[in-house]
Amino acid sequence: MAPDEPERWWHAIELPDGSVTDAWWDFRPLVPKLPWPDLRGKRCVDIGTADGFWAFELERRGAADVVAIDRPSYFQSLCRARFEEAQTKLGSRVRYEECDLYELDGEFDFAFMGYVLQVVADPLGALEAVRRVSRELLLLDTVSLPLSLLPAPLARLDARRDGGEWFVFNPRGLRKAVETAGWNVEAQTRVLADKRGLDWKHRVGVRGRACAILATA
Ligand SMILES: C[S@@+](CC[C@H](N)C(=O)[O-])C[C@H]1O[C@@H](n2cnc3c(N)ncnc32)[C@H](O)[C@@H]1O
């Protein structure tokens, strides 16, 4: 995937006219596999929202208030325009704020953070920053399937030059990172396939594998 790719949307989003945006990522099949708490009436934040798929999902699940945040960048500016287009078409009340997660302020009942941990250089600091402002966290992130075969909490330092990924954990490592940052893990999914039918790397699980953790502060 190319973070600065302008034509395609980042997220496949179903619009009220029945169309679905042409996108790099279709997370609709992943939604029922995540350990969602009851979000009705809750104040929620979607961290690193991109086009807003997860923020709209939080709203759909009955959140009282949803803030979608993303760190200012060229990629984010492209995504924001698409977020606003989808927001208008969906008649959504999600609020958008340009903000770095390390400077996140306020008080939330629930934070969603999808595929953000892998793109920050300091993942433990990021998890601590979210714990300062939210009571609950649903973390979804890429995991390494090969490293999951080893019985230890591990991370691979990927450090791609394009800033695409820094650390990629195995599921035990992801859990340990969450706990080290002071969270209590309530649930963790098995390894989930988040992209199918591409090259051999996705088919054998060297790429395209994720894991979700629900945690309380
Ligand atoms: C791989 S994309 C994931 C987008 C979306 N959450 C998803 O699940 O598809 C990573 C997102 O995190 C954002 N991001 C990266 N570092 C951030 C930071 N320090 N604070 C807030 N957002 C950040 C990026 O701008 C981008 O939108």
**Where are the domains positioned within the chain?**
42-216
CATH 3.50.50.60, applies to 42-216? no
Class of residue 156 by CB neighbours under 10 A (exposed 0-12, middle 13-18, buried 19+):
middle
How many Å apart are CA 95 and CA 115, to the nearest integer? 20
- Indicate if ligand 1 lies below 6 Å from the C-beta of 101: yes
Ligand 1 centroid–CA 7 distance in Å is 18
pTM, rounded to two decimals: 0.95
Nearest residue (CA) to ligand 1, atom 4: 50
Distance 196 CA to ligand 1 centre (A): 22
Whether 58 contacts 45, CB under 8 Å: no
> For every residue of 72-97, which 3-state class applies, written as one string?
CCHHHHHHHHHHHHHHHHHCCCCEEE
Predicted confidence at residue 160, as pLDDT, reads 75
Q: Ligand 1 centroid to 46 CA: how many Å?
A: 10
pLDDT of 110 reads 98
pLDDT tens per residue, the chain (217 residues)? 455 545 799 999 999 999 999 999 999 999 999 999 999 999 999 999 999 999 999 999 999 999 999 999 999 999 999 999 999 999 999 999 999 999 999 999 999 999 999 999 999 999 999 999 999 999 999 999 889 999 999 999 987 766 678 999 999 999 999 999 999 999 999 999 887 666 777 766 667 799 999 999 9
Residue of 1, 45, 71 with the most ligand 1 atoms within 8 Å of its CB, for mutation? 71
Is there an atom of ligand 1 within 6 Å of 138 CB?
A: no
Quick check: helix, strand or coil at residue 110?
strand
For residue 99, the 8-state DSSP code is -
CA of 166 to the centre of ligand 1 (A): 13
Backbone angles phi, psi at 55, to 5 degrees: -65, -45
Specify the pLDDT at position 158: 83
